[in-house]
Amino acid sequence: MAQVSIEDQSGETTLITLRIARYNPQKDDSKSFMEFEVPAQKWTTVLEAILDVKKNFDHSVAVRYSCRQATCGSCGMIINGKPRLACFTKISELNSNVVTVEPMNNFPIIRDLAVKFERLFDTHHKIKPFLIRDDTELETDAKEFLQSPEELEQYIQFANCIKCGLCNSACPTMAMDSSFVGPQALAQAYRYVADSRDKGKNSRLKIIDDSHGIWRCHFAGSCSQVCPKGVDPAMGIQFLRGYLLGFRS
Amino acid sequence: MRESTIMKIHYGTALAAIALVAVHILMRLTTNFADSLEYENVLANYKFLPYALMLELILILLSIHGFNGLRVILLELKQGRMYEKAVSYGCVAAMFGLIAYGSRTIIMTNMGMT
């Protein structure tokens, strides 16, 4: 086990133990953990610590990342037991010298911390994540589809979804029901249903009104707890139920 | 049947059952608990038509609500086309079976088969 030391913001040397889950489904029977002593400063993120391990100790650690600024949604993982974005989680905010990183729950593992996103993208695609209209604002002489601030307010927070999958990872129903649509897709269904420019409400509601659709949500609320972008999928799901029960139109 | 329709029935039966079970409990409070379970008193309840109809309604409401709840739990436990069909039809059959069995008691009492 190698050790690298640096100075934290108070000038003292700080090392943290990074425990990384290692698992290759093609070779391993079960998940194991490797420990690395890595340096951490006040602003060091978990992703930077993992990349430090890849650079200095073990380049074979599999991790997916891209933007490093909580925009691409690639680096979702379980950090100290909670689904978080590695690039958006500072080690200092974890209040622990031991940081354990594991792949997200409810996703098949490709290797180590990298998981397959097929189910997330399939369910996202299934709910038709686009405006459905017969006309278009792209034609000559056509006017743009105007919207009032109040109409925008109805759905704007749901448009912040970056498809990182943390909500699906935290969802207890996703763990049990392999056919469940999931909070990410349901929140996106609400995003378009609530959009005043959209005319595809009925077709979208029909898709989610299924035995493995919106009614299987138990309202645990864990999806909303873990969203790094402040989206509240649990609230969107309740609003969608309002449409299906006739309380909203 | 669409899942939203099933769930509307699910919520509706729950609310109706709460109201009727409350009436049922109030009726039981008209006499002390031990007396209310006396054989003759139970028969008298079944023979009092409005009360017997209310008990029948409670049986139907709770059977619908309970077996749909069971269906939902079983659908979450395991997935698969055949399994899901078996669960759905099985729960409907069990619901009708329970309603038939409970109704039989009320009908037999009113026919004097006690």
Q: Where are the domains of chain B?
A: 3-110
Q: Do B8 and A216 touch (CB under 8 A)?
A: no
Is residue A233 included in any domain, yes or no?
yes
Beta partners for residue A19, in sequence order: A35, A100
Do the interacting molecules here have an ipTM over 0.85?
no
Radius of gyration over every alpha carbon of chain A, rounded to an integer in angstroms? 21
pLDDT (tens digit per residue) in A25-76: 999 999 999 999 999 999 999 999 999 999 999 999 999 999 999 999 999 9
Q: Do A210 and B3 touch (CB under 8 A)?
A: yes
Considering the domain architecture, whether residues A36 and A123 belong to the same structural domain is answered as: no
Residue A13 has pLDDT above 70, yes or no: no
Is residue A102 included in any domain, yes or no?
yes
By the 8 A CB rule, do A229 and A160 touch?
yes
The beta-carbon neighbor of A177 closest among B3, B4, B79 is B79
Instruction: Specify the CATH number for the domain of residue A204.
Output: 1.10.1060.10
Chain A residues touching chain B at CB-CB below 8 Å: 173, 176-180, 209-213, 215-216, 244-245
Q: Which of B76, B78, B89 to mutate: most A Cβ within 10 Å?
A: B76
Among the candidates A115, A134, A168, a domain finishes at A115
Q: pTM score, two decimals? A: 0.87
- What percentage of residues in chain A have a pLDDT greater than 70? 95
Residue B2 touches chain A, beta carbons under 8 Å: yes
Considering the domain architecture, whether residues A107 and A46 belong to the same structural domain is answered as: yes
Q: Do A212 and B72 touch (CB under 8 A)?
A: no
Is residue A1 included in any domain, yes or no?
no
Q: Do B79 and A216 touch (CB under 8 A)?
A: no
**Coil, strand, or helix at residue B69?**
helix
Considering the domain architecture, whether residues A76 and A163 belong to the same structural domain is answered as: no
Q: What is the mean pLDDT of chain A?
A: 92
Neighboring chain B residues of A209 at a CB cutoff of 8 Å? 2-4
Domain extent for A101: 15-115
By the 8 A CB rule, do A88 and A72 touch?
no
pLDDT (tens digit per residue) in B14-41: 999 999 999 999 988 888 888 888 888 8
Residue A35 to residue A19: CA distance in whole angstroms: 4
Considering the domain architecture, whether residues A102 and A163 belong to the same structural domain is answered as: no
Number of domains into which chain A is organized: 2
**CATH code assigned to B3-110:** 1.20.1300
